[in-house]
Structure 1
Amino acid sequence: MSPTIYSILHVASVLVLTAYTFYAFAAAPETRKRVLMITGIASLLALVGGFGLQAKLQVGFPGWLIVKIVCWLGLSALAGFGYRRRGAAGTLSVIAIVLALVAIVMVYTKPF
């Protein structure tokens, strides 16, 4: 597949993952199973799209990619935390925003 397909898959799945993570912070407990299923699938697609893009562009395994993997892991875990810790939704939202911004900065600056 072309790098464009991987890029679209990666960006779209990260958008869905982020959106449903924020939805989990405010959603009713009955939606837990469905939301966690969607965030899990989106997380897997983000991983496949990201590593597919990395392989097609042959960038190796630089430091900024490791930072993005850590951000992906953190963002993937936050939906589950949102259902378990209802009182910490504000803090978890800030963490999600910071993780997303750090991942975006790593893509555009590639500092190391």
Structure 2
Amino acid sequence: MSPEFYKIIHVIGLICLFTGIGGFLTYGNDQQPRMKMVAILHGAGLLLLLISGFGMQAKLGIGFPIWIVIKVMLWVSLGSLLMLAKRGVLAPRNAILVGLLIGFVSAYIGLTWKYGFSIPAAIAG
């Protein structure tokens, strides 16, 4: 599959992920049937992002530079955002701001640090 295919799947995953986050923060814990759909959207978005991201990495043959490691950590933090909001650790307003900040940082990293930002060989091993 071409890198463009993976990019399209990546964007679809982003839409699903942020729709799920927005839906959760809109409905809260009140409406159980809608919460199931929100959780499915959130999980499907995370899965699409992971598969398409690693698919692009393999297709481009770029190895494992540090910016990919950072993006995986950001992916995990976006995945835990709903749990933190559901348990009351983050207020909904703060969860929205944190989600947007993580999304902006992730987009910046993905669009600018393509091939030149990696762990120096002396540190890597």
With structure 2 as the length reference, what TM-score do the two structures score? 0.80
- Other-structure match for 1:43: 46
RMSD between aligned residues: 1.8
CA displacement at 1:85 relative to structure 2: 2.2
Query: Paired residue for 2:60, among 57, 61, 64?
Result: 57
The sequence identity of aligned pairs, in percent, is 30
Does structure 1 residue 14 correspond to structure 2 residue 21? no
Q: Give the distance between the partners of 1:87 and 1:103, measured in 2 at CA.
A: 20
Number of equivalenced pairs:
112
Q: Is the 8 A contact 1:25 1:86 kept in 2?
A: no
Does structure 1 residue 78 correspond to structure 2 residue 70? no
Does the residue aligned with 1:20 lie in a helix, a strand or coil?
A: helix
- Cα gap change, 1:27/1:86 in structure 2, threshold over 3 Å: closer, same or farther? farther
Q: Give the distance between the partners of 2:109 and 2:43, measured in 1 at CA.
A: 23
CA displacement at 1:6 relative to structure 2: 0.9
Query: Paired residue for 1:88, among 88, 91, 94?
Result: 91
Q: Is the 8 A contact 2:67 2:109 kept in 1?
A: yes
Q: Give the distance between the partners of 2:40 and 2:67, measured in 1 at CA.
A: 28
Does the residue aligned with 1:61 lie in a helix, a strand or coil?
A: coil
Does the residue aligned with 1:60 lie in a helix, a strand or coil?
A: coil
Unaligned runs of 5+ in 1: none
Higher RCO (CA-CA < 8 Å; seq separation 6+): 1
Q: Which moved more, 1:65-74 or 1:29-38?
A: 29-38
Moved segments of 4+, more than 3 Å: none
Q: Deviations over 1:33-73 (max 9, x none)?
A: 22112211111111001100110011111111111111111
With structure 1 as the length reference, what TM-score do the two structures score? 0.89
Q: Is the 8 A contact 1:18 1:75 kept in 2?
A: no
CA displacement at 1:12 relative to structure 2: 1.3
Q: Give the distance between the partners of 2:38 and 2:87, measured in 1 at CA.
A: 13
